[in-house]
């Protein structure tokens, strides 16, 4: 009798690849990109006031921050794979609730989709830290953005066009894309990640790693870069569509502008080569400086709204440059034993920016028109340019050399380890 062997791919899941993670990010980009310009319009329709919208986003940001920081604690009791699946289903549920177009349900839908973003982001980063070698990190970030380009380029303009044609349409597409995320994730068979055995006890609560975080200046600086970059995107995504409506430019302009800006995602391989030929430090400083100056220029009282829109669109190109390089200072400093916890802290940049941006915008709108929000956002980006001067000139480059020279079983050193 011939022995019947079980195929290798059934007995052992293939090692997750950079492309697999990029495809997963691409599915998420469709789920989020189709609604990113629709939600501000829906919120403006049901609430009718920019200050009220800022207050709602502020409250949602607080809730999402607490949820994101609680994910590592939750993973102690619920397998990480099911937490990720729950996040994808939150995307789907949020889209379904928002279809109903009642103020309370729209806010609930936005809360679910915002919370889903941070839940899946924490798990995604933890999986990346488990399975992607540190020398592959730059290629992963570029591939992730490249595969996400279609969703972020077509999604915003398609979302507002479909919303004007039949309001439920973009939410249904997001619902289907969220289920696609679930399917891709299950096919990848990531499980619960790699187990790192530590001699010390597991933290008793989700905030136990804050002391370790605040003891590492590199992590603090990297997190601040992510927060300020995200604040820039908040200003662009939320307040540009409202600015366009208030200045008679139409409700579709915000989606069109975001889609045109996100077309630069297809240039991320070029941006990666620029970063490799210069340095991470140079790329980050360049991105923050020009994005900040252009955002401030958009807020000047020039009397021509289209000038502000164009300045913001050009500034968003440099935000995408920051998306390529801006997360590296934090991710390169994470130790293997702190993957999930530090991923949760890092992911809080979305929620902190979601609290800071509408909070500052609410204060600005008390004394200035909405263009003042652009000036405030630009000032924050320029402040990050100053902070980026503290980065090591050879950040990222030295790690490649160390990885090539160090033996696999070398003991941990002061150089940040990735996995």
Mean pLDDT of 334-355: 73
pLDDT digits (tens, 9 = 90+) for 145-177: 778 877 877 878 888 888 888 989 999 999 999
pLDDT digits (tens, 9 = 90+) for 53-81: 888 888 888 888 888 778 877 887 888 88
Angle, helices 137-165/268-277, rounded to nearest 10 degrees: 150
Q: Taking the CA atoms of the chain, what radius of gyration do you get in angstroms?
A: 21
* H helix or E strand, kind and range, residue 380: helix 371-387
- The number of CA neighbours under 13 Å toward the Cβ of 341 is 20
pTM here?
0.70
The Cα–Cα gap between 77 and 336 comes to 20
Residues in the chain, total: 419
What is the residue whose two structure tokens read 């920081």? 69
Superfamily, domain 15-193+208-405: MFS general substrate transporter like domains (1.20.1250.20)
Mean pLDDT of 201-224: 70
Q: Is the pLDDT of residue 401 over 80?
A: no
Mean pLDDT of 2-25: 61
What is the residue whose two structure tokens read 């360049």? 286
Fill in the DSSP letter of residue 14. Answer: P
Full DSSP string of 208-260: TTHHHHHT-HHHHHHHHHHHHHHHHHHIIIIIHHHHHHHTTS-TTHHHHHHHH
pLDDT digits (tens, 9 = 90+) for 375-396: 999 999 999 999 888 776 666 5
The Cα–Cα gap between 64 and 58 comes to 10
Q: Which of 41-50, 69-78, 353-362 is most confident?
A: 353-362
pLDDT band, residue 315 (cuts 50/70/90): very high
pLDDT of residue 408: 32
- The number of CA neighbours under 13 Å toward the Cβ of 150 is 10
Q: Where are the domains of the chain?
A: 15-193+208-405
The Cα–Cα gap between 26 and 188 comes to 14
pLDDT of residue 374: 93
């Amino acid at each position: 009798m011939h022995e019947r062997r079980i195929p290798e791919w059934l007995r052992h899941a293939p090692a997750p690849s950079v492309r697999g993670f990029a495809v997963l990010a691409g599915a998420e980009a469709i789920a989020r990109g189709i609604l990113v310009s629709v939600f501000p319009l829906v919120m403006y329709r049901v609430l009718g006031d920019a200050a009220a919208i800022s207050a709602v986003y502020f409250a949602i940001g607080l809730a999402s921050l607490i949820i994101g920081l609680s994910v590592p604690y939750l993973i102690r009791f619920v397998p990480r794979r099911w937490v990720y699946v729950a996040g994808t289903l939150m995307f789907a549920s949020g889209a379904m609730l928002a279809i109903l177009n009642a103020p309370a349900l729209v806010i609930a839908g936005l809360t679910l989709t915002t919370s889903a973003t941070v839940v899946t982001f924490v798990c995604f980063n933890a999986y990346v830290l488990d399975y992607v070698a540190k020398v592959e990190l730059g290629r992963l970030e570029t591939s992730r953005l490249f595969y996400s380009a279609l969703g972020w380029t077509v999604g915003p303009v398609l979302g507002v066009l479909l919303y004007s044609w039949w309001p439920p349409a973009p939410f249904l597409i997001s619902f289907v894309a969220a289920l696609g995320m679930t399917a891709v994730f299950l096919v990848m068979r990531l499980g619960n990640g790699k187990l790192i055995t530590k001699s010390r006890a597991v933290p008793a609560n989700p905030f136990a790693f804050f002391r370790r975080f605040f003891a590492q200046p590199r992590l603090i600086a990297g997190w601040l870069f992510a927060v300020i970059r995200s604040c820039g995107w908040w200003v662009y995504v939320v307040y540009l569509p409202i600015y366009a409506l208030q200045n008679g430019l139409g409700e579709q302009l915000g989606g069109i502008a975001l889609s045109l800006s996100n077309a630069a995602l297809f240039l991320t391989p070029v941006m990666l080569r620029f970063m490799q030929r210069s340095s991470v430090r140079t790329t980050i400083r360049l991105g923050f400086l020009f994005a900040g100056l252009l955002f401030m220029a958009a807020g000047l009282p020039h009397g021509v709204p289209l000038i502000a829109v164009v300045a913001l669109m050009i500034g968003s190109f440099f935000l995408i440059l920051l998306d390529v390089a801006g997360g590296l200072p934090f991710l390169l400093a994470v130790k293997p034993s702190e993957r999930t916890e530090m991923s949760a802290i890092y992911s809080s940049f979305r929620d902190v920016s979601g609290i800071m941006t509408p909070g500052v915008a609410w204060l600005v709108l008390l004394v200035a028109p909405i263009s003042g929000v652009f000036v405030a956002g630009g000032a924050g980006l320029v402040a990050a340019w100053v902070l980026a001067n503290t980065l090591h000139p050879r950040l990222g480059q030295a790690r490649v050399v160390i990885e090539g020279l160090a033996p696999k079983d070398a003991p941990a050193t002061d150089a940040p380890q990735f996995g």
